[in-house]
Structure 1
Amino acid sequence: MLDWLLDSDPAIRWQVLRDLTDAPADVVRTERARVAAEGWGARMLALQGDDGQWDGGTFFPVPYDGSEAGQPWTATTYSLLLLRDLGLDPGCGQARAAVRKVRENSRWEEGGQPFFDGEVEPCINGKAVALGAYFGEDVDGIVRRLLGEQLADGGWNCEAERGSVRSSFATTINVLEGLLEHERATGGTAESVAARKRGEEYLLERALLRRKSTGELVDPEWLQFSYPTRWFYDALRGLDYFRDAYFQDRYFQDADGPPDTRLSEAVGLLRSKRQPDGTWLLENTHPGRIHFTMEDGDGRPSRWNTLRALRVLRWYDGGPGL
């Protein structure tokens, strides 16, 4: 299994070395450095326009007619998110040059403000915080806005401005990922850490999958694992977030102990989807324009999902057993 994962793009290899093999730090750094110069990372960087944008727009590609075939997976926001997922070293020269062009040129379609000033919807601003924090930009203003938009049940919802008082799993996971990245970069504040913890409780109280009021499954699609996740929620995305948060809390707050037992149903689902050959499949790919494919399509073994699933189980089971 490890050989199959390592026989891949540098973006996969360096994360396998770090998360599944405990390779020496210098080996991981050397492999990670290849992301900027080879494979998917180099291809993504080469697609940035002279105007600092990918596909002509900040959140929407140009032209964009609003149809499903024209979903905004190729514009600047999702292109940067993919570079973050690939693990492009934010300190390398290629990353600094790309982000500088975004900072100087990219403006949100909603309002015309600079990219790292944020947008108006919390689902988008969660992504903007994650990107700004990862690439070393000041996004404290967006964080303050998000803290003021947290709902009474602990989560967030892009529909709040239209009257919704109930949080959304999808908006909440996007905000949580942003707050976690911001804490990793800056240490956060007492207020931002507390808000993140309340957001985590929103998901945990619902076992990552269910309505708190009735216990019913919220959405059958959350049982299918996609990659890239885009703005969508699913159980693997939720589990990988809690794995990430666990290690960050242990580092910054001297927190320890076993994973929360309320994750057990989602972990059981994850185990049930392991194929006889040890892989996990790609499922429920979200349609829309893409720059290029990284895997063989739905129903086929997925290196991304297998990597993410294995590192979740390695954490949850408390050891290296693969």
Structure 2
Amino acid sequence: MTNWKSFLNSDPTEWLLEENNPSVRYFTLRDIFEMPENDHEVKKAKANIMKTGTVPKILAKQEDGGYWGVPDNFYVRGKYKGTSWQLIILAELGADNADKRIRNTCEFMLKNSQDPESGAFSYISGDNGVGDPEKILPCLTANMAWSLIRLGYLDDERVQKALEWLIAHQRFDDEPVELSEREQKIWKRCWGERTCHSIIVKSLKAFSEIPENKRTPEMENCISKCAEHMLNHGIHKRSQPPSEGRFKWLEFGFPLMWNIDALEVLGLLTKLGYKDERMQEAMDIMISKQNGEGKWALENTFNGRFQTSIERKGKESKWITLNALRVLKNYYR
């Protein structure tokens, strides 16, 4: 078996363990060094996420109701400073779900964005103060489901309902199809001639966050279909023509909001145990992007539109490096 570290130009883990980024330190200890959650250093790093760095900067701008800015502007009119976006970032950074401020944000989105009848999430509230069923977004639903699972809501019936909606409505079409009137209402804001890869990847992300022993057969089937769709496209290639790459997907970013890149797809597939020759081109491109110190750069970012900037574009990125190491470790384990 090939040692995953043999693909590194140099070992960057000491850099990732620096205490100036407690989130990266925590995930490096947990995912790269495989240290248990009850280890003293892991617990210390986890606690520091709420004390130093990006998470406390974001929470310092939170209103008492668990939202940021104007309450109604939690998605479209608040890109990328609104509440839905902050929930995604806080989940990515490993925020403590026991913190009241985090729970308040989760409950705010469940109340104001989720359509209680379908379980899907909407980009605006209706007149009744809950998610407008006519304004549902599949990628928002997947992102909210993932964030809420990450923050301890997996067993909440509202999240389970969102997951059921994703299973029922996820599409995998590569050719133009004629949609029913009902489907047109669901997909009209995000449907082109073919399936939106972003929605497939965000659904895959949500279901991959569920522990294997808690996945239903329907969830496993959806994971399989999502994974196979992306594998059939060589991770980063368009549906038509299939040989043409989505070159923006080869510019790695963090955090990824509605958008995706090849590194995210590789991360999800390798987390789920996939080792497929159709991944190799993207793997080779990922490996080639490291510098002489075994570090990767931040190539794509929404900095300037966040509540607070996260790393610097064009500079060495602890987050991109950590995610690349996760891919290598899982693929070559």
**Band of TM-score, shorter chain:** 0.7 to 0.9
Residue 249 of structure 2 is matched in structure 1 by: 222
Check the 8 A contact 1:157/1:172 in 2, yes or no.
Answer: no
Residue 325 of structure 2 is matched in structure 1 by: 310
Q: CA deviation at 1:121?
A: 1.5
Quick check: 131-140 or 217-226, which moved more?
A: 131-140
Aligned length: 298
In structure 2, the residue corresponding to 1:148 is in which secondary structure? helix
Report the Cα distance in structure 2 between the residues aligned to 1:185 and 1:205, rounded to whole angstroms: 24
Report the Cα distance in structure 2 between the residues aligned to 1:93 and 1:158, rounded to whole angstroms: 36
Is 2:166 the partner of 1:146? yes
Q: CA deviation at 1:245?
A: 2.4
RMSD of aligned C-alpha atoms?
3.2
Letter in 1 for 2:227: E
- From the superposition, tell whether residues 152 and 43 of structure 1 become closer, same or farther in structure 2 (CA, over 3 Å): closer
Aligned mate of 2:206, from 160, 172, 178 = 178
Report the Cα distance in structure 2 between the residues aligned to 1:118 and 1:140, rounded to whole angstroms: 21
The alignment's TM-score, normalised by the length of structure 2, stands at 0.78
The aligned runs of 1:71-82 (5 Å cut-off) are 72-82=79-89
The aligned runs of 1:76-95 (5 Å cut-off) are 76-95=83-102
Check the 8 A contact 1:243/1:312 in 2, yes or no.
Answer: yes
Check the 8 A contact 2:112/2:125 in 1, yes or no.
Answer: no
Q: CA deviation at 1:157?
A: 11
Letter in 2 for 1:96: R
Letter in 2 for 1:139: V
Q: Deviations over 1:22-81 (max 9, x none)?
A: 33432323311221232212222222212321222466469x4xxxxxx61111111011
Residue 209 of structure 1 is matched in structure 2 by: 236
Is 2:21 the partner of 1:3? no
Is 2:299 the partner of 1:272? no
Q: CA deviation at 1:127?
A: 0.7
Structure 1 runs not aligned, ≥5 long:
65-70, 247-257
Report the Cα distance in structure 2 between the residues aligned to 1:101 and 1:59, rounded to whole angstroms: 12
Report the Cα distance in structure 2 between the residues aligned to 1:220 and 1:238, rounded to whole angstroms: 14
- From the superposition, tell whether residues 44 and 242 of structure 1 become closer, same or farther in structure 2 (CA, over 3 Å): same
Report the Cα distance in structure 2 between the residues aligned to 1:185 and 1:42, rounded to whole angstroms: 32
Report the Cα distance in structure 2 between the residues aligned to 1:158 and 1:75, rounded to whole angstroms: 25
- From the superposition, tell whether residues 22 and 150 of structure 1 become closer, same or farther in structure 2 (CA, over 3 Å): closer
Aligned mate of 2:62, from 44, 48, 64 = 48
Report the Cα distance in structure 2 between the residues aligned to 1:278 and 1:157, rounded to whole angstroms: 46
Report the Cα distance in structure 2 between the residues aligned to 1:233 and 1:81, rounded to whole angstroms: 14
Q: CA deviation at 1:143?
A: 1.9
The alignment's TM-score, normalised by the length of structure 1, stands at 0.81
Check the 8 A contact 1:54/1:74 in 2, yes or no.
Answer: yes
Structure 2 runs not aligned, ≥5 long:
1-11, 115-121, 176-182
The aligned runs of 1:18-57 (5 Å cut-off) are 18-25=30-37, 26=39, 27-57=41-71
- From the superposition, tell whether residues 153 and 98 of structure 1 become closer, same or farther in structure 2 (CA, over 3 Å): closer
Residue 214 of structure 2 is matched in structure 1 by: 187
Report the Cα distance in structure 2 between the residues aligned to 1:218 and 1:152, rounded to whole angstroms: 19
Report the Cα distance in structure 2 between the residues aligned to 1:72 and 1:199, rounded to whole angstroms: 27
Is 2:321 the partner of 1:293? no
Report the Cα distance in structure 2 between the residues aligned to 1:245 and 1:58, rounded to whole angstroms: 36
